[in-house]
């Protein structure tokens, strides 16, 4: 009986441990640093080092303010089928896509990465 109860206890702990990966946690500064690095490097390879456009269109605040933040986030999360714009849902969650969309509209930060890690 005691043994059975402790098995349940361990299961419950395991379940709680898995919880945070189910719910989209808000973007903290650690995550922000990673997302900024990802956008600058991976998105930059198509949208330009300064996000002013390349293979993909400019992601400057001027360009992004023309679009509702939800459709920017959806474009990032789902990609644009039939175009080179890939979906990012395997790498980021919807909260993170929304965060990137908001940052693009506001003017994407340069380098939170280096500053916060010190």
CB 43 within 8 A of CB 51: yes
Size of the site for ligand HEC (CB under 6 A): 21
Interaction residues for ligand HEC, span 3-62 (CB under 6 A): 39, 42-43, 45-47, 55-57, 59
Give the residue from 74, 76, 90, 91 showing the smallest Cα distance to 46.
76
Residues 51-80, mask of contacts with ligand HEC (x by CB under 6 A): ----xxx-x---x--------x--xx---x
Can you tell me which of 27, 36, 88, 99 binds ligand HEC, judged by CB under 6 A?
88
The set of long-range contacts for 72-80, using a CB threshold of 8 Å and a minimum separation of 24, is 72/101, 72/104, 72/105, 73/97, 73/98, 73/100, 73/101, 76/100, 76/101
The residue ranges that bind ligand HEC (CB under 6 A) are 39, 42-43, 45-47, 55-57, 59, 63, 72, 75-76, 80, 83-86, 88, 100
């Amino acid at each position: 009986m005691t043994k059975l109860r402790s098995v349940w206890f361990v299961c419950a702990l395991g379940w709680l441990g898995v919880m945070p990966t189910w719910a989209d946690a808000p973007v903290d500064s650690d995550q922000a640093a990673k997302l900024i690095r990802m956008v600058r490097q991976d998105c930059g390879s198509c949208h330009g080092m300064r996000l002013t456009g390349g293979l993909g269109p400019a992601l400057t605040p001027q360009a992004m303010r023309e679009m509702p933040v939800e459709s920017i986030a959806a474009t990032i999360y789902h990609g644009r089928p039939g175009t080179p714009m890939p979906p990012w849902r395997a790498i980021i969650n919807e909260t993170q896509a929304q965060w990137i969309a908001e940052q693009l509209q506001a003017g994407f930060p340069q380098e939170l990465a280096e500053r916060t890690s010190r």
